[in-house]
Chains A and B, each alone.
Chain A
Amino acid sequence: MRLDIEPRAEVSKLAQILSPVLAVFVAVGIGGLIVLALGKSPVQALFVYFIDPLSQSWTLQELAIKGTPLVLIASGLVYCFRSNLWNIGAEGQFTVGAIVGCILPLATHGMDAGPWVIVLALIMGAIGGALYALIPAMLKVWFGVSEILTSLMLVYVAQLGLDYLVRGPWRDPKGFNFPQSVVFEPGATLPNLMSDGRLHAGIILALIVVGISWFVLTRTLFGFGIRVSGAAPKAARFAGFNAKRMVVFAFLISGGLAGLAGIVEVTGQIGQLQPSISPGYGFTAITVAFLGRLHPVGLVLGAFIVSLTVIGGESAQIAMKLPLDLTTVFQGVLLMCVLAADCFSTYRVRIVSGGAR
Chain B
Amino acid sequence: MDILTWTYILVGLSFALYIGIAIWSRAGSTKEFYVAGGGVSPLANGMATAADWMSAASFISMAGLISFAGYDGSVYLMGWTGGYVLLALLLAPYLRKFGKFTVPDFVGDRYYSNKARVVAVICALFISFTYVAGQMRGVGIVFSRYLEVDINTGVIIGMCIVFFYAVLGGMKGITYTQVAQYCVLIFAFMVPAIFVSMQLTGNPFPQLGLGGTVEDGTYLLDKLDGVLTELGFTAYTSGQKPMIDMFAITLALMVGTAGLPHVIVRFFTVPRVKDARLSAGFALVFIAILYTTAPAVAAFGIYNAIDSVAEKPVDDLPKWVENWKQTELIKIDDKNGDGVVQYVADPEINELDIDKDIMVLANPEIAELPNWVVGLVAAGGMAAALSTAAGLLLVISTSVSRDLVKNFNPGISDKKELMIARGAAAVAVVVAGYFGVNPPGFVAQVVAFAFGLAAASFFPVIIMGIFSKRMNKEGAIAGMLTGLVFTLSYIVYFKFGTELFGVAPESLAAENWLFGISPEGIGSFGMLLNFIVSFAVSLFTPPPPAEVQEMVEEIRIPRGAGAAQDH
A and B: bona fide binding partners: no
